[in-house]
Chain A
Amino acid sequence: MTQQKRARKALFHFTCVCVAVIMLYPLLWMLFSSFKVSSTVMREADKLLPTQWTVQNFINGWKGFAGHSFGTFFRNSLLVAGLSTIGAVFSSVLIAYGFARIKFRGSDFWFACMMVTLMLPFQVIMVPQFLLFTKLGWTGTYLPLIVPFFCGQAFFIYMDVQFMRSIPKELDEAAMIDGCSRFGVFWHIMLPLCVPVICTSAIFSFIWRWEDFLGPFLYLNKPELYTASLALKLFSDPSSSSDFGAMFAMATLSVVPACILFVSFQKYLVEGIATTGLKG
């Protein structure tokens, strides 16, 4: 019996390790390729670890292109991802409170609208939205990448509503009876209780905005405005670069923030999704 149990456990770990290797190998390959000597990256593509370690790729890659270093691009990404995350997280929790706790005329209608936007793919409204922002004179600025997020993001609103519904209503009611205003209840009672779900949405939002390629690709036209993802795409175009080492080095750097956030807060992310049962 115990032997059978041990065999099953070994089989379980064997399967998991195999899957993990397949899952993580491309990522590790990218990481270690950035430490290989640039001219040998593709020649020794079969080896995971470099035969000769070097950090030259990072130095070469960091120089960037068109007179702008990757420092500029990373700073731009930080600005765009940071501001849009602040907007998305706080507007979403505010909106979610309205849906979760206040009964008012039209709330069902607007909630349905929110569910529609949850399923509406961005690609479908990409062209007309571009025309709208062009008319507003927003192309070539960060406004199209930031402003829409201050009107809430359906995914986070839905997540927040689900979370708020699990908080007993009596808490709000008691505070209201004690003379607390509606906004006071939201600010002093609901917001502190929602910290876990706010963290989850903040991390998701930051990672998604950081990685966003389509938005910057459509709206940014000057190299000094490029975000890291857009810069990386242009940097990796075969016509502009054949320095594979530098390309891998910058690719690695571009996913470092997301990986750090994920590793530090993976409990929030994995459980955040697992408890609300939502897509990602």
Chain B
Amino acid sequence: MNKRWSKKTLQNTRDGYLFIGLFCIGFIAFTIIPILSSLVYSFCNYNVITPPKFAGLKNYQTLISDTKFWLALKVTSKYVVFSVPLKLLFSLAIAMLLYKTNRVTAFYRAAFYLPSIIGGSVAIAIVWRQVFSGDGMLNTLFNSIFGADLKKSWIGSPDTAIWTLIILSVWQYGSSMLNFLSGLKQIPPTYYEAASIDGASPIQRFFRITLPLLTPTIFFNLVMQIILALTCFTQSLLITRGEPMGLTKFSAVYMYETSFKYSKMGYGCAQAWVLLVLIATITIVLFRSQRYWVYYETDVKEEK
């Protein structure tokens, strides 16, 4: 009996690895090996042409005194701090607006989701440049409506450049909106009915029922959007090109420039590791924080 059982386990294990084998190979070859080799490179001087030379902690020491690196980190933080909450607020508001399912809301949902589908493309980057440039669409439109020439390049001015990227990010709220919609659908309507009978106002219902029961979705969106924003890259490269004065040069962009433009692969890998540790730390802190503010259904039952 015991022998047959172990044979079945063996067979299952064989079958299991036959199915997931491709993933194991890909994970080791395209994720683990690059990550580990980048750790090794981060302790080396490496310019691709000559073989890597061990340099100890030098790259990390340079990092500490590199003002450009700190500026990039500051700019990235600013982007995360403004774009993520704005995006979540906006997507939640729209999801609540389109809560009911019928043909009309289905149309609006699709229309509001379209920018998210194509928002990362080069085409949109081109449009964004032309919308916010000095003689771009926004200024021309403003001029023809209000008769005043703003004469301001939103992309070229230090105070507004990053905002054009934040607006682009908020504009693509579609996927968070859909997540909120599915979260809202999971709240039993009886909760609202009971609350209404007890005389709860819509505002009370929102803060006492909707918001607490939506915390798992908020958490999920928050984690995903923070990671996405922390690694923002293409938009900055294509739209503002890191300018003006490096005020839109995000950490990922600076890392890219260090590695490819200046061929300092070792230094670039050190930056990648700092970014990785930063993302991992933030993710772990968020996951740990769950028990203070995220209500999963089982908790709600226990509280009753």
Contact = CB atoms under 8 A, between A and B. Distances in A.
Contacts of B123: 30, 232, 251-252, 254-255
A105 B8 CA distance: 12
Contact of B112 (A20, A131, A132, A186): A20
Contact of A270 (B17, B23, B109, B233): B109
B213 interface: no
Nearest to B178: A273
Indicate the size class of the contact surface on chain B. 35 or more
Contacts of A104: 9, 12-13, 15-17
B27 A150 contact: no
A255 B118 contact: yes
Contact of B234 (A98, A148, A214, A270): A214
* From B20, B26, B269, B272, residue with most partner A Cβ within 10 Å: B20
A102 B19 CA distance: 9
A110 B28 CA distance: 11
B63 to A, nearest CB: 15
Given A102-B12, A131-B41, A278-B179, A123 B31 contact: no
A273 B175 CA distance: 8
Contacts of B174: 280
Given A104-B13, A128-B37, A270 B178 contact: yes
Given A269-B113, A275-B182, A125 B27 contact: no
B15 A94 contact: no
A29 B268 CA distance: 39
Contact of A233 (B116, B185, B238, B275): B238
Interface string A104-118: 111100100110010
Interface in A259-280: 259, 262-263, 266, 269-270, 273-275, 277-280
Interface stretch (B132-140, B154-162, B204-212, B295-303): B132-140
A121 B223 CA distance: 12
Contacts of A266: 110, 113
Interface stretch (B67-75, B77-85, B190-198, B252-260): B252-260
A263 B137 CA distance: 27
B275 A123 contact: yes
Contacts of B143: 46
Contacts of A98: 15-20
B187 interface: no
10 contacts: A27-B114, A98-B20, A104-B9, A104-B17, A119-B283, A125-B38, A126-B255, A126-B256, A247-B126, A277-B217
Interface of A: 12-13, 15-16, 19-20, 23-24, 26-27, 29-30, 33, 42-46, 91, 94-95, 97-99, 102-107, 110, 113-114, 117, 119-132, 134, 148, 150-152, 157, 182, 186, 207, 211, 213-214, 218, 229-230, 232-233, 236, 244, 247-248, 251-252, 254-255, 258-259, 262-263, 266, 269-270, 273-275, 277-280
